[in-house]
Amino acid sequence: MNAPPSVAPLGKDLLGLASLSGDQIRLILDTAEPFKEISERAIKKVPTLRGMTVVNLFFEPSTRTRISFEFAEKRLSADTVNVASSGSSVSKGETLVDTARNLEAMRIDMVVVRHEASGAARFLAERIESNVINAGDGTHEHPTQGLLDILTLRDRLGDLRGRRICICGDVLHSRVARSNIFGLKTLGADVAVCGPRSLLPNAIDELGVTVFQRIEAAIEWADALNVLRLQLERMNAGFIPSLREYNRVFGVTSRRLAAAPRDVLILHPGPMNRGVEIDSDVADGEHSVILNQVTNGVAIRMAVLYLLAGGRPELAGAARRGGEA
């Protein structure tokens, strides 16, 4: 439990995993460990963030991520406010920064933001004083999802160095894929992607990942598959011929997994399209850790909130001098 004091503080915001060091990622994962236990207590609450106000600013629909953040905030005793784009002045044309500045004028401490534009979280973080946590910005990053995926992998596989993780499906539109790739590679894992060429970014090679054209080859190679959601709302633009054909060629099925040389862990960030990218018997099967991901999500978000809330660099010296008692 004695982390090396040399780990650089996370700073004011968590915008993505691309900019974090391995030590910083491990610090978040290690901090999440004791938070898992809090959610198992009869009274699932600690007073750590008492008096802090956190705004969940969601410009895109979200159930899992928003609720997970809200649980994390409440279990740390923060006060929370949810702002969704519909039903707020955002739908009247107010800009992102104006919305946030108005909230800041009411004395808030942190903003959790999801936005359809890549870079929205950074844009906001540079313009307000509150801590900003990126809960997904366009096709850029979704760092807490990446972290909870990595925590779930670490729970099962241990040290991830040299472990083979394949991200399957719609990598092109996926901020989850990018956060996973950045984080996993920083921790020394071997990362691959697998999907139809039309759903892989053109410059995928620049991310330093292996590309599989066939799901059978990916399954044969991998220790774990992170199966992405086929974003049905984006599939009318001719990326794939049909959902049935996608399932036939790229679907993760129990028949395909049975041919694997080893047990392959199955992750999915949700929400799942059963029968499209993943079959029901795989999603509910013994190697699925999909619900563990959801449980870990709360612990990871508690860890991030905790680390950002106390991360005031100007006070770090006081911490070292501070009297243990």
Partner 1 sequence: MPRRNTTLLDKRSLDRTLRRMADEVLELNGGTDHLIIVGIQRRGVQLAERLAAIIKGTEGVDVPRGALDITLYRDDLQTVGPRPVVGPTHLPWELDGKCVVIVDDVLYTGRTVRAALDELADFGRPARIALAVLVDRGGRELPIHADIVGRRSDVPKPQRVDVLLEEVDGRDAVVITAEDDA
Q: Which is nearer to partner 1, 32 or 193 (CB)?
A: 32
Q: Does 71 bind partner 1 (CB under 8 A)?
A: no
CA distance 226 to 224: 7
Question: What are the CA-CA distances from residue 29 to residues 19, 37, 66, 187, 206 (Å)?
Answer: 16, 14, 20, 12, 27
Q: Which is nearer to partner 1, 17 or 32 (CB)?
A: 32
Binding segment for partner 1 (CB under 8 A), chosen from 32-40, 117-125, 221-229, 264-272, is 32-40
Binding segment for partner 1 (CB under 8 A), chosen from 88-96, 114-122, 249-257, 308-316, is 308-316
Q: Which is nearer to partner 1, 266 or 307 (CB)?
A: 307
CA distance 175 to 81: 25
Q: Does 7 bind partner 1 (CB under 8 A)?
A: yes
Total length of the chain: 325
Q: Does 307 bind partner 1 (CB under 8 A)?
A: yes
CA distance 238 to 267: 27
Binding segment for partner 1 (CB under 8 A), chosen from 44-52, 79-87, 270-278, 284-292, is 44-52
Q: Give rounded-to-5 percent helix, strand, coil for the chain.
A: 45, 15, 40
Q: Does 43 bind partner 1 (CB under 8 A)?
A: yes
- The correct pick among 61, 241, 271, 310 for binding partner 1 (CB under 8 A) is 310
Q: How far is the CB of 38 from partner 1 (least distance, A)?
A: 8
Q: Does 34 bind partner 1 (CB under 8 A)?
A: yes
Q: Does 107 bind partner 1 (CB under 8 A)?
A: no
212, β-bridge pairs: 194
Q: How far is the CB of 304 from partner 1 (least distance, A)?
A: 11
169, 201 in Cβ contact below 8 A? Answer: no
**Nearest of 202, 57, 24 to residue 123 by alpha carbon:** 57
Q: Does 18 bind partner 1 (CB under 8 A)?
A: no
Binding segment for partner 1 (CB under 8 A), chosen from 1-9, 131-139, 218-226, 242-250, is 1-9
Radius of gyration of the chain (CA): 20
Question: What are the CA-CA distances from residue 240 to residues 36, 196, 236, 246, 291 (Å)?
Answer: 40, 8, 8, 7, 29
Q: Does 3 bind partner 1 (CB under 8 A)?
A: yes
Q: Does 27 bind partner 1 (CB under 8 A)?
A: yes
**Nearest of 290, 299, 307 to residue 71 by alpha carbon:** 299
Q: How far is the CB of 37 from partner 1 (least distance, A)?
A: 6
186 Cβ contact partners less than 8 Å away, ≥ 6 residues apart: 17, 20, 21, 22, 25
- The correct pick among 42, 106, 203, 237 for binding partner 1 (CB under 8 A) is 42
Q: Does 31 bind partner 1 (CB under 8 A)?
A: yes
Phi, psi angles (nearest 5°) of residue 166: -115, 130
Q: Does 309 bind partner 1 (CB under 8 A)?
A: yes
- The whole-angstrom distance between residue 21's C-alpha and the CA centroid of its chain comes to 16
Q: Which is nearer to partner 1, 87 or 322 (CB)?
A: 322
Q: Does 21 bind partner 1 (CB under 8 A)?
A: no
Where helices occur in the chain by DSSP H, the ranges are 22-38, 64-75, 96-105, 120-125, 143-157, 175-186, 215-221, 243-250, 254-258, 280-283, 290-310, 316-321
Q: Does 8 bind partner 1 (CB under 8 A)?
A: no
Site residue total, partner 1 (CB under 8 A):
39
Contact residues toward partner 1 (CB under 8 A) are 1-3, 5, 7, 9, 27, 30-31, 33-35, 37-38, 41-43, 45-49, 76, 306-307, 309-312, 315-316, 318-325
